[in-house]
Structure 1
């Protein structure tokens, strides 16, 4: 993003409307064949400068770790929400992702006045909100949430690697890489795999 003005345009529009506590909400882990989907909600102070902040997919793992630490330091509040593999199977990945995002918002100690939600779909919460397609590349609050969600999920997949080292979760984090598909072909799915997903079933 080119400038602080660009990053905070949605948050500042809302500030002019009287909303000073805006939470950005995003998830990580819709596409993998294994592991949970993880969401984060972040309330940033106005125009805080976070060098290198961007959509988590555009930031290196090392930079994401640094940004996550900084975000947690400067945020007015932040929280994580998770939907398990069983919930993904029961609800489908779309509704499980929305559930994880709701849980993240509900985990905040500071009650937000407005939500900026990445994607096309608002959350089933009694809070004013706006869904933003590509919000993780246009809103500082959503980008911060995307960083925390991605870093948290990657850390969880590192733990999963110790439980099931034959799949290489530490490398691909459950995404459908060729190495992961080869491991699935050799070992079959484990309890962390999403049985209904193409490539697993």
Structure 2
């Protein structure tokens, strides 16, 4: 749970905001809309402000981002074939609603082999590599808090020429978002969550 701000921190924040509201900045604000929204929906004003602050003073990405999950995703290496691919038609994607799931066997310092983890995830709404490909093309959509993790998209499994299975992941390195894959014979720890869906199919 996040630590609550002190009254001193709140006053310092207010002073910082006020000091930056010069005439040029104020000209960019729709004063009528700002005031009317506060009048029409006063019950939403404070909760929305708190959400904005807790999101690092960044606006949440809201848009009509559609992913065709029936498409063939990018292959992770030469010679790879698709062993399994979860299709779901065209989905509307909200990256901030994606759940990063950890098995109980990945928590508290524990690890689990990829083949066993795949069994655990079999009935869960795992996202496919099509979503991963979309995020790589649109990295501005990727939540900041994903940095430092390896996000796996278990909805697509790949096979190499020797019959070994792999799953692709998304991670931040060298100042950019990248993709790689991992052999299911390896183990998964607490920094390697599965991306689960909270997306809706397009009607």
TM-score, normalized by length of structure 1? 0.25
Decide which structure has greater strand share: 2
> Greater RCO between the two (CA within 8 Å, min separation 6)?
1
Decide which structure has greater helix share: 1
| Structure (1 or 2) with the larger CA radius of gyration | 2
TM-score, normalized by length of structure 2? 0.25
